[in-house]
A and B are shown apart, each in its own frame.
Chain A
Amino acid sequence: MLAYVARRLGYGVLVVLGVLLLLFVLFFAVAKPEDIARRALGEKARQEAIDIWIASHGYDRPLWPWQQPADNQLFDHYARMLTFDFGRSDTDDTPIARRLAEGVGPTLSLTVPLFLVGLVIALLFGLFVAFFRDTYIDATGVFLCVLGMSVSLLLYIIGGQFLIGKLLRWFPISGFDPAPVVVARFLALPVLVGLLGVVGGDVRFYRTVFVEETGRDYVRTARAKGAGEMRVMLRHVLRNSLIPVMTRVVLAIPFLFVGSLLLESFFGIPGLGTLTVDAIRNNDFATLRVMVFIGALAFIGGQIATDISYAFVDPRVRLE
């Protein structure tokens, strides 16, 4: 077991190193430091100021180790990222770590409710539709899911702000405030809209899982023993579907940290998604590459956790 965990962790580290290499190629080798400097210094920056900026941010050093083994940007990039020394934003010089710390709270306060409510709704709705499989309720349910998946989140957001925020006046159209009661008001609408975008695909997936499970022998046996349909669904089908469900759920968790780019930026929630969108808009490569790195890190961590927990549950996995 321990050997498996060690192997899995080792591979995770390898992937992290791979991600960092990719980021380096994208953001150091392909992107030009002059562009970033000019953006940071403003319209009237003179060449001398740009040169100073580039030098002070270390962008003028050789890129690759074979050019200069001791002092190159590649090793530096690895060293900084792996020690979580993210440096400062290219646009306004604030420490990126600080902005991450500020953004985590608002992001989680959006994504955690979205995730939990979405999970419960998708599971319930999936069970419900599977329960009524091969009736018009099932057909309509699946149709609604496909319908929901065919619409851009952009349209949901625009429609939601217009209908619920402006016409019905249930919640503020956008904005954020960490104060206790008010925060719920601000989050209600983005969560509602976010659900529309997420639930369709999830329900369809869970339905397939449940329907597949109901076709199995043990379910037939349970039914033959006279167990009620409701009991069959909740006790047997739901329980035995947990592995595929859990896989999907665990894979979704890392995205909680990255946040939803569109939701956050449209609703003015100052989280990590907004941070990313701002970085994109301002060509703030320093922040952007940290965001990509953090996202990848969360994802890899999630995967390792899943794999190891599987290994605990199912001994066969370890031997693979």
Chain B
Amino acid sequence: MSERARNIRARALARTLLPALLLAAACSNDPYPPGDAAHKIYYTVFREAHRTLDPAEAYNVSAHKVTGSVYDSLLEYHYLKRPYELGPGLARAVPEPQRLEDGRVRYRFEMRSGIGFGPDPCFELGGAGRRSREATSADVAFQLMRLADPALKVQVTDAFSAVQGFREFRERLILRRELDPAFAELPAHKQYAALGGMEGVRTPSRYELEITLARPYPQILYWFAMEFTTPVAWEAVQFYNGNEGRDRFADHPVGTGPFYVREYNKHLRLVLERNPHWYGLRHPDALGARYPERGAPGDAEGDLLGAAYRGRALPFLDRIEIRLEKESIPRFNKFLQGYYDASSIIKESFDQVIQADRLSPQMRQRGIRLARSVAPSVFYLGINMEDPVLGAPAGERGRKLRQALSLAVSSEPWIELFLNGRGVPAQTPLPPVIFGYNPDYRNPYRQQQDAKRSRARELLIEAGYPGGIDPDTGSPLRLSFDTYTLNSQQLLERQYFVDEWRKIGVDVRLQATTYNEFQAKVERLAYQIFFWGWSADYPDPENFLFLLTCDMRRSTAGGPNTSNFCDQRYEKLFAEMALRGNDAERQRLIGEMVKILEEERPWIELYHVVDYQLSHGWLHNVKPFGMSHPMYKYYDIEPERRAALRLSWNEPLTWPAYALAGLVLAALVPGVRTFLRERQ
């Protein structure tokens, strides 16, 4: 064999064998099947299996990604305009409240005709071979009654209890089911019909829906822009009951939205496909069926009002793939590799992505875009006001102690450490995007410089705990900070506050328990300090300030007021504020309420999140919305550009494999040689 031939053979061997061994799986990091790259598919993630996708039950951002695309609502927000503007969706117009003489209020919705449910075999119940049907006002009424059904885990019953007969309907349902087993076996829609429906919900015609409220509740209209009030087909609820191998309805959404669920594997992915029966296809002139012509100031300069999109019929995407991705780092890395189209920024990579408060040159060069917005949310440390040491029973002493605790912890360094500065320090429960927020207001108990720490120490003395020492025991005052997470990284975030309180001599102990045990503690009122957040359901100050009202107390009413704060002055102001439109008087009322919170300190307000949303250059029309409404029908994608960029970004680096193999061989050869020599 000639030298050359041997060389070639050796090289060929190296070339085929090594990669074949090491990189047998066609070495590529592309996680999608080969054919998919050519389609307009939007890729996004969910972090854990959805517990429920029932539009009456689903109440978190991750589930809304799906329910918000599959279920349409009667009203809709304008995609671009800020402050938020409510407009018609499935309804022809936003209804005006009609005041009745006895104090009741009536809303009359007029629905469009030709609203179609997404294709699904469950419609065979209404006739063989059927795959869809028209949605009518009866389907909305059905869903409103489901909200009152105690068999469902509905978390928003308080909001709908203003509807006349809501509570009574619920009680009648419970009673009938207990007394009459045959009734309890009927499908839900038949049960509701047998009870004669709910008093405040009437359907005068196929397309008309009449809602009567027992008392004025102007915020009810916002709830008609959410999936809670979407048309739901009785066929779907009856068919998907979890028996005989069929899904539960909670795992099998069927709705009238622009997309329908084509495939759902809880532990892998969820695929949404265009709904061929979507109302927008029949009513191209409807507000929710076209891309808006106008937006908020600044939108035109960005990517939001391109000539190619203005006024065009929605949706643009063919398919949406939502994949299970539990860990944040792989998720973000896949975004950087081009396999997800948009992403928030994980804190680990923040400095790589954002430099000097704008996108780093590296990211800009890749064509990545950044959208920034303050989310209507608030995070806070709550204090259990029914605790004998910290709460209202401790009177003035407790108040001073809460004030001292509030002064001792600062938001700014925490935001810096754990959010990379992506937060606005909170002064009150109200975030900047909500009416009533006063940019000039500074909460004296939320201003942290070192000088203030001495003020906190003074307050401790006034509270009767000089130097943090409890005079009753002679040792440092011990409090508990009850967390509902065992995640060690989140516990580290809580540890920060504990360390700050240590500085003024108060011994706060982290009590890390599971969510379960935390709930049990809450039930027994055996908790003192907790970390919590609230994200707006709708853009109204009432949706934040109600969190501290007596009716919402956790201890007595099981409501979201986990602080159990209850103050009669606050109560009176709240009642007046809730019914007013956004005017100067409302602003004044809110100011007074904030003053009470400032003094009483049931919450130590921490921050409002600032969302940093990244999207690749091939994705268009992305505007952060803040509240939990997915806006996929407005998105568009350039698949060719995406495919080309993905290829160029993801070329594998193979030389280390060869280097490693070489190294191992080099280490072995001398040994093998001496060994063979010795054996001979």
Contacts and interface: CB of A to CB of B under 8 A. Distances in A.
| Touch A–B, Cβ below 8 Å | yes
Given A172-B31, A172-B334, A181 B26 contact: yes
A174 B652 contact: no
Nearest to B31: A172
Interface stretch (B277-285, B412-420, B452-460, B511-519): B511-519
B626 to A, nearest CB: 23
Contacts, number: 145
A270 B267 contact: yes
B155 A229 contact: no
Of B23, B330, B560, B671, chain A has the most CB atoms within 10 Å of the CB of: B330
B330 A171 contact: no
B49 A92 contact: yes
Given A34-B520, A165-B29, A283-B514, A170 B327 contact: no
Interface residues of A, number: 55
A185 B668 contact: no
Given A137-B668, A184-B26, A177 B334 contact: no
Contact of A38 (B519, B650, B671): B519
A247 to B, nearest CB: 29
Interface string A31-51: 000111011011111100100
Contacts of A49: 150, 153
A94 to B, nearest CB: 7
Nearest to B150: A49
A53 B247 CA distance: 20
A214 interface: no
B265 A270 contact: yes
Contacts of B337: 169
Contacts of B474: none
B51 interface: yes
Interface string B286-329: 00000000000000000000000000000000000001111101
Contacts of A265: 326
Nearest to A271: B267
A168 to B, nearest CB: 5
Contact of B33 (A43, A137, A173, A179): A179
A167 interface: yes
B27 A170 contact: yes
A288 to B, nearest CB: 13
Contact of B29 (A92, A169, A179, A275): A169
A171 B23 CA distance: 9
A274 interface: yes
A135 B326 contact: no
Interface residues of B, number: 61
A44 B155 contact: yes
Contacts of B329: 161, 173
B155 A186 contact: no
Contacts of B439: none
Interface in A94-121: 94, 102-103
Contacts of A161: 329-330
A306 B407 CA distance: 68
B31 A186 contact: yes
B656 interface: yes
B25 A165 contact: no
A136 interface: yes
Contact of A173 (B323, B330, B560): B330
Contacts of B30: 172, 182, 185
Interface in A178-202: 178-179, 181-182, 184-188
A175 B31 contact: yes
Interface of B: 23-34, 48-49, 51-52, 150, 153, 155, 242, 248, 250-251, 265-268, 323-327, 329-330, 333-334, 337, 339, 514-517, 519-520, 558-560, 650-654, 656-657, 667-668, 671-672, 674-675, 679
Closest 8 CB pairs of A and B: A270-B267, A184-B25, A174-B330, A173-B330, A35-B516, A188-B25, A137-B671, A172-B31
Given A35-B520, A170-B23, 10 more contacts: A44-B155, A44-B558, A132-B675, A137-B668, A137-B675, A168-B656, A173-B330, A173-B334, A265-B326, A268-B327
